[in-house]
Amino acid sequence: MSNYPLRLPERLMAQARELAQAEGVSINQFLSTLIAERVGELNALRQVQARIARGDPARAAGILARVPERDPLPGDEF
């Protein structure tokens, strides 16, 4: 576990305290959870971007061209 001195605008800190209290958690746990969620989101985004960069649109179009043209199954319609 590490410590980091975090400076926040007073209004933002007051809102964070209110939300933490409403959630029934400490401000430390509330902020840690928010940071963990955002880090997870950013990591997932990087993974998706890496997969997109490896993609080959021409190959994907070739695969989709082999799909037979037919009506969707019942329940799959738009």
pLDDT tens digit sequence for 6-18: 999 999 999 999 9
Query: For the chain, what are the domain ranges?
Result: 11-54
* Residue length of the chain: 78
Residue 25's contacts (CB-CB under 8 Å, 6 or more residues apart) are 33
Q: Tokens standing for 45?
A: 């985004």
User: Tell me, what DSSP letter sits at residue 28?
Assistant: H
Q: Tokens standing for 30?
A: 């509330």
Q: Tokens standing for 16?
A: 């964070």
Amino acid symbol at 57: P
Q: Which band of pLDDT confidence, cut at 50, 70 and 90, is reported for residue 1? A: confident
Is residue 75 pLDDT above 90, yes or no?
yes
- What tens digit of pLDDT does each residue of 53-66 get? 999 999 999 999 99
pTM of the model: 0.69
